[in-house]
Amino acid sequence: MSFGALLQNVSKHIELTAIEQELFTTFLTEKKLEKGAIVLEQGGICNAIHFVNEGILRAYFLSEEGKETTVMFAISDWWITDMHAFTTHKKSLLTIQALEKSSILSLSKANFDKLLIEIPKLERFFRILMQNAYIREQLRGLDNLSLPAKQKYAIFMEKYPSIAKLLTQKQIASYLGITPEFLSIIRADS
Amino acid sequence: MSFGALLQNVSKHIELTAIEQELFTTFLTEKKLEKGAIVLEQGGICNAIHFVNEGILRAYFLSEEGKETTVMFAISDWWITDMHAFTTHKKSLLTIQALEKSSILSLSKANFDKLLIEIPKLERFFRILMQNAYIREQLRGLDNLSLPAKQKYAIFMEKYPSIAKLLTQKQIASYLGITPEFLSIIRADS
DNA sequence: TAACACAAATAATGTAGTTTAAGAAATTCA
DNA sequence: TGAATTTCTTAAACTACATTATTTGTGTTA
């Protein structure tokens, strides 16, 4: 079990004692994922939030018409879940899948709630995490509404080069909200 | 000074003692806003987060080409700020303006930081606030990428009827990321 | 080595949404 | 109140992007 990356992730924002660190790790479950493995299925129950130790995951929504929209990617040191389903216990809107062989640490909803009671300091940690996630989504939403596809593509490539190089163009297109064909055109004439 | 609505807003998620409530309110500044008043100017410094007691505010981005994109509206019982600028101290991307005569309680960044140290319980409150904001933005972003304008309009009207009835169609269009002309067409044929 | 599945490029055609412009209706304000 | 300003509607021309189809490339498995 490798909790080093997670503990370092936490220590960016708060300080835990050795005992608290130990306690935190007992709440986690390590999972090894093969390429293509499904972590959460759309329509299912989302009962955990995941920290990525290694590899890359994608969270996407599949519409009734069969169109995929990528909500987020997560690589090492990122947290990922369907936060709406995790919080409300409603059916998940998103599927979360490993794009490559990956390793994650899962924190169940029950353990998440317990953990915050046992180590109240972690409220601060997750407050900062949620605040940063909110900021990211707000800025992305603004870009999506105010910019043409070409600029959205340029911004994505500049902001997340390490993620982009692991992705197919089809996956990038589904994150930008355009078709792979149109992304191909954008790339050709730039 | 009317802090009732704010204290009730806080008590939805955590319990404060009378002393803590008192302390909280001393950190706040009440502001009365006339219709059209600017609370934060794009390019300026965002040094507060605001709780809306009464009225309605709008946060929007103005592009170099002169196109306005509304990032959020806030009515009574909502919190509003440019969270990115508030957190990073960078220049604000957004302008926040009162659409009607309004009353807000402002919590400065310095007081926000102090408050979280003096009443650590509030970390939980703001964690929940940020988490809900994150969820809202993620769902809105998904709608924006996966749905045509007509459905986005229908969803907005259904989700926020009390806000919608206070807005002009131009303001609604700028929230949906479409032109007022096209919104007019959508409304005509539905 | 072929056969397969999938990723990417290209091109023709179709459509959702924009732009521009003009007139009518509603609000603002002196 | 009346004039000025802004909002809303309608319509024609235009553009960004989608759809459909075909082709080429590429790594995988038989």
CATH number at residue A36: 2.60.120.10
Range A74-80 average pLDDT: 98
**Domain range enclosing A25:** 4-118
What is the full DSSP assignment across B49-116?
Answer: EEEEEESEEEEEEE-TTS-EEEEEEEETT-EE--HHHHHH-PBPS-EEEESSSEEEEEEEHHHHHHHH
Query: Any atom of strand D under 7 A from CB of B147?
Result: no
Query: Any atom of strand D under 7 A from CB of B170?
Result: yes
Interfacial A residues in 49-88 facing B (CB < 8 Å): 61, 63, 67, 69, 71, 83-84, 87
Query: Of the candidates B144, B128, B13, which has an alpha carbon nearest to the alpha carbon of residue A87?
Result: B128
Q: Given this model, what pLDDT does residue A178 score?
A: 98
Does A111 map to a domain?
A: yes
Does B46 map to a domain?
A: yes
Range A103-108 average pLDDT: 98
Does A80 map to a domain?
A: yes
Q: Given this model, what pLDDT does residue B1 score?
A: 77
Copy the structure tokens of residue B5: 């609505």
Q: Per-residue pLDDT tens for B97-152?
A: 999 999 999 999 999 999 999 999 999 999 999 999 999 999 999 999 999 999 99
Does A76 map to a domain?
A: yes
Q: Name the band, by pLDDT with cuts 50, 70 and 90, for residue A190.
A: confident
Give me the number of domains chain B comprises: 1
Does A104 map to a domain?
A: yes
Residues with pLDDT less than 70, chain B? none
Average pLDDT along chain A = 97
Query: Of the candidates A143, A153, A145, A146, which has an alpha carbon nearest to the alpha carbon of residue A190?
Result: A153
Q: Given this model, what pLDDT does residue B190 score?
A: 73
Does A82 map to a domain?
A: yes
Q: Given this model, what pLDDT does residue A189 score?
A: 85
Does B163 map to a domain?
A: no
Does B189 map to a domain?
A: no
Q: What percent of chain B has pLDDT over 70?
A: 100
- Does A49 score more than 80 pLDDT? yes
